[in-house]
Amino acid sequence: MAKTKLTSLTEGNIPRLIFSFSWPIFISMIFTELYNITNSLIVGNYVSLKALSAVSATTWLCNAFNYAFYGLGMGAGILIAKYYGAKDSHNLKKTLDTAIVFGIVGGIIITVLSELFLPFLMKICNITGDIYKDAYEYLRVYFLGNTAVLTYQMCFFILRSFGDTKHQLYYSVISSIINIALGVLLVRVFHLNVIGMAIATIVSQFTMDALALRLMLTYEGVDFDFRNIEFSFQTILEICRLGIPAGFQNMLIAIGSILVQSRVNEFPYPVIAGIGVGEKVANWAQLFSVSVSNATMSLVAQNLGAKKYDRVRESIRESARIATIFTVLSIAIIWILAPMLVSRFSDNQEAVYYGTNMVRFALFGIFFINYSHIYNGACRGAGNVRYPMYIAIFGQCICKILFVTIGLKLFYDVHILYCATAFGHSMAGILATLYFYSSAWVLEHGLREVKR
């Protein structure tokens, strides 16, 4: 089997490295978003508005698991990038082996637990009435893919830690095509409705796993072999130390959004569907800054491992500059195209109206959360995972919940729901920036230069 060469981020032009690292992640994230919205698009166009409302009502519950898995994958990626930058081949192999085993076995355990507690989870989300049956059937099948999600998050962060973002792009494209084609076939031709869409999703997820795991066998200089696994419980603890704060942060953000969604679910179907679709569309504007934050994290981790502190600081500066430019462009484009984009999900004019408003209100917060992605990514790459967690939880969870709870008591109006996301994102971005430029920890670890 031909060997795949790895990329070092400790040498070369930094802006060029950021672009070469980020653009495949950006495009793969577009396909991932397409993958995520495919379920709503197909159900909304080929089943009914009620089915679309059911899928929209489950979005943040699905995201809660995805975000937790994302955090654990991030923990593994930080460790592997550090050992790769330091050329520590023994710890590199041990961490890679442990991360993959952890992804597969941990995913199976979480899959079983999520199926057992599904009725309780739906109760938390306040999913009731006519949409309950569709939502329950969708989640019951969808959660069978939790093993696949945790495994490919581990694999994708391992790829990024080696500077390889192109294979993630290829696999995301393949997975999206499978999800779309199989989803249309099962929903429109075989009339399996929301169950068919969930089946298409888990098939596409396990396909990504198979491709990513096969790739691990081909990496040049990485001795990975399923017949020679070096497993370490100590490494699991280290992955969890770095990954659980980010996963916990994302879980709490998702739980906060679930609580907000429970208030959204009190409104009529067009509002539920419109706001669910609107949040998906608005999130596209932050895809590039999220992509760059992954580059920032890997650049910081590898160069700190190699003790190249000037490159660490330059990486952060360039990442912030590049991410801001492209975020502003994304906001402008999506603002203009919002009605057309939302209408792709449903031809119900009320749903399009509420969805368009949701998009445009949410975009105000995207500019600020751009800085949260970059500066928090830099801190995590240096091993500081706690303070980014505190900042994100306070901004995107606590502030958002308080805004909705107090706002709806004062003015029971859909505009409170529109503004909540923008307010939470803005607070997270502002607080992350203040922490980065005022923290003694950031200065001590060489992420920021001493002012003279």
- Whether 49 and 348 have beta carbons less than 8 Å apart is answered as yes
* pLDDT tier, 71 (very low <50, low <70, confident <90, very high otherwise): confident
Q: What are phi and psi of 165, to 5 degrees?
A: -115, -10
Residue 242 has pLDDT above 90, yes or no: no
For residue 108, CA distances in Å to 242, 382, 420 come to 22, 31, 35
Return the pLDDT at 413: 81
Mean pLDDT to the nearest integer, 41-70: 77
Q: What percent of the chain has pLDDT over 70?
A: 93
Return the pLDDT at 371: 93
Return the pLDDT at 193: 84
Mean pLDDT to the nearest integer, 316-327: 93
Residue 439 DSSP one-character state:
-
Return the pLDDT at 213: 83
Distance CA 171, CA 29 (A): 11
For residue 407, CA distances in Å to 161, 262, 396, 415 come to 43, 15, 16, 9
* pLDDT tier, 332 (very low <50, low <70, confident <90, very high otherwise): very high
Residue 250 has pLDDT above 50, yes or no: yes
* pLDDT tier, 6 (very low <50, low <70, confident <90, very high otherwise): low
* pLDDT tier, 227 (very low <50, low <70, confident <90, very high otherwise): confident
DSSP states of 25-87 = HHHHHHHHHHHHHHHHHHHHHHT-HHHHHHHHHTHHHHHHHHHHHHHHHHHHHHHHHHHHHTT
**Helix spans in 344-413 (H):** 349-381, 386-392, 399-410
First-to-final CA distance of the chain = 54
For residue 280, CA distances in Å to 8, 406, 449 come to 34, 25, 38
Return the pLDDT at 42: 83
* pLDDT tier, 411 (very low <50, low <70, confident <90, very high otherwise): confident
Return the pLDDT at 65: 81
Residue 368 has pLDDT above 90, yes or no: yes
Report the range out of 50-54, 117-121, 218-222, 333-337 with the highest average pLDDT: 333-337
Return the pLDDT at 185: 92
Mean pLDDT to the nearest integer, 273-295: 86
* pLDDT tier, 3 (very low <50, low <70, confident <90, very high otherwise): low
The tokens of 164 are what? Answer: 């390889």
The tokens of 240 are what? Answer: 């969890």
Mean pLDDT to the nearest integer, 365-382: 91
Rounded to 10°, the helix 399-410/233-264 angle is 10
Q: Return the minimum-mean-pLDDT range out of 98-107, 343-352, 402-411.
A: 343-352
* pLDDT tier, 224 (very low <50, low <70, confident <90, very high otherwise): low
Distance CA 42, CA 55 (A): 11
Return the pLDDT at 367: 92
Return the pLDDT at 323: 93
Mean pLDDT to the nearest integer, 19-45: 78
Return the pLDDT at 221: 58
Distance CA 346, CA 328 (A): 27
Residue 451 has pLDDT above 70, yes or no: no
Return the pLDDT at 35: 65
Return the pLDDT at 1: 47
Return the pLDDT at 228: 78
Q: Return the minimum-mean-pLDDT range out of 54-58, 137-141, 166-170.
A: 54-58
